[in-house]
Chain A
Amino acid sequence: MNKNYIYLTLLLIVLAGGLFLLPEKENYQHMDPEDLMWSIVQPTRYVSTDQVAKRIIEGDPTLELIDVRTIDEFEEFSLQGAINIPIDSIMVPEYQDYLGIEDMSAVFYSDDDIKADQAWVLAKRLGYDHIYVMKGGLNCWIRTIIKPERPASTAAASEFELYSFRRGASMYFTGAEIAIPDDEGKQKVQVARKKKTVVAEGGC
């Protein structure tokens, strides 16, 4: 038998041995730093507390709230339906199963938005998509949704509209009673009824 065959075989065996030197395969693909910076520069990752409130109230099934505070803080108070992934446990595989679910949009939140943003940068680097940050965090949640401030009487109509949404949302989330100021001179509502017509009205 030709000696060269032996050399060729040995070479292939040595090269195959090189596979042992390859780093352990990770279940995610790191994002290139330049691409990461590019997606950081876009402000599209931020969602407002109003948007989050609206989606919770409407029961949006694609919303996945992720609380990145500690377990204790999470157990004390969290948003409706939120999952707790403390920022220092983001590398734990069981927690990562919550990220990257198809068609779900994961919204990170913390006390304000710094921690959530840091978790976002990490998750983005790990290659997860459809992730967002709730701007202002829980502090902003209390300020805008739980204790909304009445706009000045000169404010634009859109602000009143937002205020009325927030008041409704506040009732939804706190179950608060509305303290209606005593108002004696209430006008009676007169209901104008439609007269019945004899002939059946159109229909199919």
Chain B
Amino acid sequence: MHVHELNPKRTMIALVIFAVIIVVGLLTLSGPRLKYALNPEQTIELVTYGEGMVYPYELEDVLNGSIDSILLWDIRNTFEFGRGHIPGAENISAVNLLTPENIKRLKQLKEDGMAVVLYGKDQLHANGPWMVFRQLGCDHVNILMGGYDYYAEWQDMLGDTYYDDVYLLGMPDFDYVEEAASAVIVAEEPSGTKAAVTVKRKKKTVVAEGGC
């Protein structure tokens, strides 16, 4: 005689408890706060097709107010932001980009049909954060080519950057093979031709200068 058969309800109780635990477990299973919307293959496509790039000359329309659906986010630190930034930009330093409030705000902006342009010191600085946003599915987040340094250099003639290509990255500036083969290094010039160094001496003051 089996022990369980003493109380036929016992297996029933076990069955119910078992089912309840599994159901509760499935219901309370919580996913991570942020999930990737793009898989790695899609991310590769994104970066190889150069999507989401904002050219410096496109800023002109944003700055003169003819486009008002674009927000500029400066991801540099507060100190650098204080020294100079693109007019109308907001300072959100890189460590605060993924805070729950910011994610909520981004979702709201997407619903409102607004776009965000990230910029850092140079394009490289904003590249990582931009890629994270895109991978999270924020396809209204874009990146400014050239970054702030390029903007600062050209800020008075942004329209002219249309003809410039310095900010275009990912291209060789040299014919590597030629450079690597033909380099001839000129050694140090003979020491006789060195310019004489004139040392300006501080005049001695009579009174002893400060000190402890």
Contact = CB atoms under 8 A, between A and B. Distances in A.
B29 interface: no
Contacts of A5: 11
Contacts of B15: 4, 7-8, 11
A113 to B, nearest CB: 6
Contact of A88 (B48, B174, B185, B195): B48
Contact of A34 (B98, B174, B192): B98
A122 B43 contact: yes
A131 to B, nearest CB: 13
B132 A76 contact: no
B97 A37 contact: yes
A32 B32 contact: yes
B44 A77 contact: no
Nearest to B186: A179
Interface in B142-195: 169-174, 176-177, 179-181, 183-187, 189-190, 192, 194-195
B79 interface: no
Given A5-B11, A8-B18, A138-B176, A180 B44 contact: no
B127 A33 contact: no
A122 B127 CA distance: 12
Nearest to A171: B185
Contacts of A153: 194-195
B131 A114 contact: no
A33 B131 contact: no
Given A7-B15, A110-B170, A91 B40 contact: yes
A111 B184 contact: no
A151 B91 CA distance: 37
Main SS at interface, chain B: helix
A176 B184 contact: yes
A40 interface: yes
Contacts of B63: none
Interface string A72-99: 0100110000000001101100000000
B11 to A, nearest CB: 4
A10 B37 CA distance: 36
A193 B47 CA distance: 65
Contacts of A54: none
Given A11-B15, A33-B36, A114-B127, A176 B183 contact: yes
Contact of B176 (A36, A37, A77, A183): A77
B34 A32 contact: yes
A77 B182 CA distance: 14
Contact of B172 (A88, A138, A179): A138
B41 interface: yes
B8 interface: yes
A180 B4 contact: no
A30 B185 CA distance: 48
Contacts of B22: 15
Contact of A139 (B5, B47, B174): B174
A66 B128 CA distance: 19
B95 A181 contact: no
A77 B98 CA distance: 40
A122 B34 CA distance: 17
A125 B40 contact: yes
Contact of A126 (B40, B95, B123, B190): B40
A142 B175 CA distance: 10
B170 A112 contact: yes
Interface of A: 2, 4-5, 7-8, 11, 15, 30, 32-34, 36-38, 40-41, 73, 76-77, 87-88, 90-91, 110-115, 117-118, 121-122, 125-126, 138-139, 142, 146-147, 153, 167, 170-171, 173-174, 176-181, 183, 185
Q: Which 7 A-B pairs have the closest CB atoms?
A: A40-B128, A77-B176, A4-B11, A33-B34, A183-B190, A174-B183, A114-B169
